[in-house]
Amino acid sequence: MLTLLLLIPLLGAVGLGLWPGNPDAAMVRRAAIALLVVQLLASLRVLLAFDPGVGGMQLQEGISWLGSLGLEYRLGIDGLSMPLVLVNGALSLVAAIASRDVQARPRLYFALLLVISGAVNGAFLANNLLLFFLFYELELIPLWLLISVWGGANRAYAATKFLIFTAVSGVLILGAFLGLAFTTGSVDFSLSPVTSEHLAMASQMPLLLALLVGFGIKIPLFPFHTWLPDAHTEASTPVSVLLAGVLLKLGTYGLLRFCMGLFPQAWAELAPGLAIWAAVSVLFGSLAAIAQRDMKRMVAYSSVGHMGYVLLAAAAATPVSLLGAVFQMVSHGLISALLFLLVGAVYRATGTRDLEVLRGLLNPERGLPLTGSLMIVGVMASAGLPGMAGFISEFLVFRGSLNAFPVATLLSMVGSGLTAVYFLLLVNRAFFGRLAITPRDPQSGPIDIRLPALNLIDQLPSLALAGAVVVIGLWPASLGDISEAATNGMALMPVLLAAAGSGGLG
Amino acid sequence: MANPPLLQRTVANPTADAAELQRRLLAGETLLADTADHLLEVVGVLESYGEVLDAYSINLIFQAEKQFLNPFPVFRFLDGDLNPAKIWRHLNHDRINFEYAEYCQKAMFWHGTGGLDAYLDSDAFLENCRTIIGRKRKRDPLLALLHPLFPGFLVELIRSAATTHALGQFWRVMSDLFLDLAKAERDGRVCTIEQVVEFIKDGLVAAAANPITYAVEIHGENLWVLPPEANLTFLVDVAVPYVEAVFLRGMPFLGTVSFNAQAQQISPDQASFTYGALYADPLPTMGAGIPPSLLMQDMYRHLPEKLHQWYLACTRGEGDVRVKICQSFQKSMFCVTNAAIRGTFPHALASSDPGEQQANANYAAAWAGRLAKGRTDCLGAEA
């Protein structure tokens, strides 16, 4: 059943690539949407078969592939990966729906989109380190192409920067996995934790640090974040949706699954430092967002800040904080996808994202009233207002981390407050006041604003995402029930290992 | 992906245009450029405005005469027809927004310029009020109680009723004039903006000396509020104060721009207000109860088919039709103002006497100075 989640998008990509003749872009898009709907339905089918009471991997399937190399095709799913697979299914569909402007090379574009979706599913489902790495690298090239072919004016620079950063990330991760095999002498590349009985702490630390930097680039955490704002600025709206909503989650997923899961003891040693790193990342991302005048860069920097919460929660590693981390991954995926869609709608209508230029877009007759209203919902959710997904995740993260790392948690809370500052700046500048696009030349007088109206049907993905954000906010058990057993198990792992190391479970 | 054209510059910088406006006024040119689209917009929007003014006028006169000194005028917008179906339509908002007419009446009453306002403060008017209140108190215990407690209250209500009635009479004339204009355009007698301005000027001049009077019936007895002896006339005592209050000064209602009176963003001098219809922001937020948007909604319900089709063909079609009506309305109000200025020059424009020329130039300069004050400051890049 899990294999189906890989086959649908990957075979679909091959099918689109081999589509004979010169098909119309709209037709290719409809085919891609149909495939992604089937993929989302398959993900929901997995959800039905999924038993939330089980903490470990389930629905496992696999065959030996290259056994001598330790490369096994083994898939499984647990409470950590289940929500992420669902988010990937939903956001890939949203990205395809939002790709209505693609006219050049539609077959390649949608095939790459499907490859990314399949590769991300593979990475979330992989139960083998090498298999994870293969899928992790597989999404890299399509995304590079999506930015460098269909991106903005400065796309070559941004795409190359993205490629270099993420390739370094991949090298570090592969190095750590191979290093683990060499130092432990076993080449099974399974997901079993490494304790000091198998490997000395002095050997664990460099491997963990390599993984941390590797995933820290992907997440991204300060100071490895510089590729992200550039990539977002140049990427088209659907690519930004995928990048922020799904691909960054590969980093945080790796953090929880591999950094914490493989090296629980070394992780516990490093945790205080990681918490401070998280707080620095949160504060840096928030302060940098305040300084932006491009709406998209502002949302991109907010991602840097909000992904820091996941590191904080992982450092604390309590049951509550880890559940908060899962909530944060899902809610950030939905909220940032929503915000990027809306920024894309504003850009489509006005041709600019400059906060010094846009004014009063909430005007009901000539502005973008629905986009503006959804933007207000999105920024309220991002700032963590009660009743929205952001509140649940931030509350769980802070509540779970406060006892372990009070200073880092309080600093991160300041970052949460700063979210309200920069997003209120955004809403106030771009959406409130009198509708105007400030003329470059102040002497040129008033300008008649003639923005095209946006169709309701084009806004359906944004409406659906905003609805999901509110549903999770009002009914957090819908997501919590799926993940709670898994995150509890992960939280207890260091405790159990410590107990085992000291000679018994008491 | 190519960006669609977003901005179309349609208005030149008004602050630099005072000299140009003065030149046009003195040369007898129209303020609004003479184009076929402008003619369609101005005549069409004035026709719908004429229909709306007809209803406003009937209602204002009904209020002043039949709801006189009624402390709870709950049904004042129903013109005395208390049919349940009509009440339902009213509550369901399938109706004219008479609130806009009240807004104009209040603006006129508050700014209070011209002969009508002077008469409302005269001893003769107070004497009329004493008589009316004396008659009215006899059979109205509530008023009998109120008047000794607040002696100024009923007098003020009567002043307000007098303004209401005067505005009703003014709009009666304007409504007929605008509907005649539309008919003249259909008959081919009016084909240019110049002819529109002349048509309106002739209408105003013809009605200029119409007497403005107002009497109320109390217990079968007719009593004057504005008697013929007050010598109030249409143009000087009502039309000019109306233009001053509604076209030019207006009131700073809450809209897309918030005003901070404490920070002196609103002038303490009423005479320098520029919140009137000529300066109104055509992009209101359409929030509840903002008066100009009420008028646009009313005109929308009476839009001539030809103009409606023209609106449907541009920008967002039906989506921003009220904004387009507001823009056309401002153009038409500039034509009316143009006609009023043209009709009130102190001397003939063709005069060769240097003294008369100078007087005309001063008159035109004063108007140009006021019209050039566009409320464009709100367009600036305020932080």
Q: Encode pLDDT of A351-391 as tens digits.
A: 888 888 888 888 888 888 899 999 999 999 999 999 999 99
Distance CA A97, CA A118 (A): 17
Looking at residue A143, its pLDDT comes to 93
Q: Residue B380 domain-assigned? A: no
Question: 3-state DSSP call for residue A71?
Answer: strand
Looking at residue A348, its pLDDT comes to 87
Residue B16 has pLDDT above 80, yes or no: no
Q: Which residue of B has its CA nearest to A447?
A: B9
Q: Of A93-107, A430-444, B59-73, B257-271, where does mean pLDDT reach its minimum?
A: A430-444
**Count helices and strands in chain B by DSSP H and E runs:** 14, 3
Yes or no: say if A261 and A252 are a contact pair by the CB < 8 Å rule.
no
Looking at residue A274, its pLDDT comes to 94
Yes or no: say if A107 and A149 are a contact pair by the CB < 8 Å rule.
no
Looking at residue A498, its pLDDT comes to 60
Cα atoms found within 13 Å of the Cα of residue A58, Cβ hemisphere only: 19
Looking at residue A497, its pLDDT comes to 61
Write the residue in B316, B376, B381 that is nearest to A356 by C-beta: B381
Six-digit token string for A321: 């904080």
Q: Tell me which DSSP letter residue A367 carries.
A: S
**In which element (H, E) is residue B168 found?**
helix B153-186
Residue A478 has pLDDT above 50, yes or no: yes
Percent of chain A residues past pLDDT 90, beyond the cut: 58
Residue B18 has pLDDT above 90, yes or no: no
Q: What confidence category does residue A110 fall into, taking pLDDT thresholds of 50, 70 and 90?
A: very high
Residue A322 has pLDDT above 60, yes or no: yes
- CA of A59, closest CA in chain B: separation in Å? 44
Q: Please enumerate in sequence order all residues whose Cβ is within 8 A of that of A141, keeping only pairs 6 or more positions apart, or say none.
A: none
Yes or no: say if B257 and B281 are a contact pair by the CB < 8 Å rule.
yes
Write the residue in B9, B283, B381 that is nearest to A363 by C-beta: B283
Q: Which residue of B has its CA nearest to A362?
A: B285
Distance CA B329, CA B41 (A): 8
Residue B5 has pLDDT above 50, yes or no: no
Distance CA B372, CA A324 (A): 60
Looking at residue B11, its pLDDT comes to 44
Q: Which residue of A has its CA nearest to B378?
A: A434
Average pLDDT over residues B36-48: 95
Write the residue in A360, A434, A437 that is nearest to B6 by C-beta: A437
DSSP symbols for A141-210 = HHHHHHHHHHS-TTHHHHHHHHHHHHHHHHHHHHHHHHHHHHHH-----------TTTS-HHHHHHHHHH
Average pLDDT over residues B269-290: 76
Percent of chain A residues past pLDDT 70, beyond the cut: 94
The answer to whether the bond into A461 is cis (omega within 30° of 0) is no
**In which element (H, E) is residue A263 found?**
none
Q: Which residue has the higher pLDDT, A386 or A56?
A: A386
Instruction: Write out chain A residues lying below 8 Å of B3, CB-based.
Output: 351
- CA of B330, closest CA in chain A: separation in Å? 14
Write the residue in A101, A363, A450 that is nearest to B6 by C-beta: A450
Most B CBs within 10 A among A450, A454, A455, hence the mutation to make, goes to: A450
Average pLDDT over residues A79-105: 91
Q: Is A237 part of the contact surface with chain B (CB cutoff 8 Å)? A: no
Distance CA A164, CA B278 (A): 60
Q: What confidence category does residue B383 fall into, taking pLDDT thresholds of 50, 70 and 90?
A: very low
Diameter over CA atoms, chain B: 79
Q: What confidence category does residue A501 fall into, taking pLDDT thresholds of 50, 70 and 90?
A: low
Distance CA A219, CA A211 (A): 12
Percent of chain B residues past pLDDT 90, beyond the cut: 58
Looking at residue A225, its pLDDT comes to 92
A433/B256 touch (CB, cutoff 8 Å), yes or no: yes
Distance CA A458, CA A46 (A): 29
Q: Which residue has the higher pLDDT, A259 or B382?
A: A259
Distance CA A311, CA A297 (A): 22
Distance CA A448, CA B282 (A): 10
CA angle A264, A268, A269 (to 5 degrees): 120
Q: Tell me which DSSP letter residue A235 carries.
A: S
Count other C-beta atoms under 10 Å from residue A16's C-beta: 23
Q: What confidence category does residue B256 fall into, taking pLDDT thresholds of 50, 70 and 90?
A: low
Distance CA A228, CA A245 (A): 13
DSSP bridge pairs for A383: none
Q: Residue B90 domain-assigned? A: yes
Q: Of A400-409, B95-104, B364-373, where does mean pLDDT reach its minimum?
A: B364-373
Instruction: Write out chain B residues lying below 8 Å of A349, CB-based.
Output: 6
Average pLDDT over residues A342-357: 88
Q: Tell me which DSSP letter residue B252 carries.
A: -
Looking at residue A228, its pLDDT comes to 93
Distance CA A17, CA A203 (A): 46
Distance CA A187, CA A71 (A): 9
- CA of A488, closest CA in chain B: separation in Å? 48
CA B305 to chain centre: 24
Q: What are phi and psi of B68, to 5 degrees?
A: -65, 125
Taking Cα atoms as reference points, which of A263, A244, A266 lies closest to residue A254? A263
A449/B7 touch (CB, cutoff 8 Å), yes or no: yes
What does each C-alpha distance from A26 to A100, A428, B151 come to in angstroms? 7, 36, 77
Residue type present at position A310: V
Average pLDDT over residues B150-156: 93
Average pLDDT over residues A54-76: 82
Q: Residue B233 domain-assigned? A: yes
Yes or no: say if B184 and B190 are a contact pair by the CB < 8 Å rule.
yes
Q: What confidence category does residue A500 fall into, taking pLDDT thresholds of 50, 70 and 90?
A: low
Q: What confidence category does residue B6 fall into, taking pLDDT thresholds of 50, 70 and 90?
A: very low
Residue B381 has pLDDT above 70, yes or no: no
Distance CA B17, CA B352 (A): 26
- Which sign does the torsion angle of CA A96, A97, A99, A104 carry? positive
- Which sign does the torsion angle of CA A128, A132, A135, A141 carry? negative
Residue B63 has pLDDT above 90, yes or no: yes
Q: Residue B200 domain-assigned? A: yes
* Number of residues assigned to chain A: 506
**In which element (H, E) is residue A449 found?**
strand A448-449
Yes or no: say if B259 and B135 are a contact pair by the CB < 8 Å rule.
no
Interval A266-300: pLDDT, tens: 888 899 999 999 999 999 999 999 999 999 999 99
Residue A162 has pLDDT above 70, yes or no: yes
Q: Residue B138 domain-assigned? A: yes
Q: What confidence category does residue B159 fall into, taking pLDDT thresholds of 50, 70 and 90?
A: very high
Write the residue in B11, B323, B382 that is nearest to A446 by C-beta: B11
Torsion angle of C-alpha atoms B243, B244, B245, B250, degrees rounded to 10 = 100
Residue A440 has pLDDT above 90, yes or no: no
Strand locations in A37-113 (E): 58-66, 71-77
Q: Pick left, alpha or beta for residue B233 (phi over 0 → left; psi -120 to 50 → alpha; otherwise beta).
A: beta
Distance CA A191, CA A124 (A): 13
Distance CA B346, CA B360 (A): 6
Residue A210 has pLDDT above 80, yes or no: yes
CA A165 to chain centre: 17
Taking Cα atoms as reference points, which of A237, A239, A299, A23 lies closest to residue A117? A239
Looking at residue B4, its pLDDT comes to 34
Distance CA A259, CA A216 (A): 11
Report which listed range, A37-46, A198-207, B292-301, B373-382, is most confident.
A37-46
| Total domain count, chain B | 1
Residue A505 has pLDDT above 70, yes or no: no
Instruction: Write out chain A residues lying below 8 Å of B378, CB-based.
Output: 434
Query: How far apart, in Å, do the first and last CA atoms of chain A sit?
Result: 41
The answer to whether the bond into A223 is cis (omega within 30° of 0) is yes
Which ipTM value was assigned to this complex?
0.74
Yes or no: say if A50 and A6 are a contact pair by the CB < 8 Å rule.
no
Looking at residue A506, its pLDDT comes to 37
Tokens 């432990």 belong to which residue? A184
Q: Where in the sequence is the domain holding B181, given as residue range(s)?
A: 15-374
Six-digit token string for A191: 């997901």
Cα atoms found within 13 Å of the Cα of residue A275, Cβ hemisphere only: 24
Distance CA A204, CA A213 (A): 14
- CA of B27, closest CA in chain A: separation in Å? 26
What does each C-alpha distance from A322 to A271, A274, A275, A490 come to in angstroms? 14, 15, 14, 8
Residue A456 has pLDDT above 60, yes or no: yes
Average pLDDT over residues A486-499: 72
- CA of A438, closest CA in chain B: separation in Å? 6
Q: Which residue of A has its CA nearest to B10?
A: A448
Q: Which residue of A has its CA nearest to B380?
A: A438
Report which listed range, A63-67, A255-259, B317-321, B376-380, is most confident.
A255-259
Q: Tell me which DSSP letter residue A90 carries.
A: H
Yes or no: say if A299 and A378 are a contact pair by the CB < 8 Å rule.
no
Looking at residue A55, its pLDDT comes to 80
A434/B256 touch (CB, cutoff 8 Å), yes or no: yes
* Number of residues assigned to chain B: 383
A444/B257 touch (CB, cutoff 8 Å), yes or no: no
Write the residue in A356, A366, A445 that is nearest to B323 by C-beta: A366
Taking Cα atoms as reference points, which of A113, A121, A122 lies closest to residue A242? A113
Instruction: Write out chain B residues lying below 8 Å of A448, CB-based.
Output: 7-11
**Strand A71-77, strand A58-66: pairing:** antiparallel
Six-digit token string for A56: 């470990």
Average pLDDT over residues B242-253: 86
Distance CA B377, CA A345 (A): 28
Q: Is A467 part of the contact surface with chain B (CB cutoff 8 Å)? A: no
Q: Which residue has the higher pLDDT, B38 or A352?
A: B38
Average pLDDT over residues A416-427: 93
Q: What confidence category does residue B276 fall into, taking pLDDT thresholds of 50, 70 and 90?
A: confident
Give B367-371's long-range contacts (Cβ < 8 A, gap of 24+).
B367/B21, B367/B22, B367/B25, B367/B341, B368/B18, B368/B19, B368/B21, B368/B22, B368/B25, B369/B18, B370/B248, B370/B274, B371/B18, B371/B21, B371/B31, B371/B278, B371/B334, B371/B337
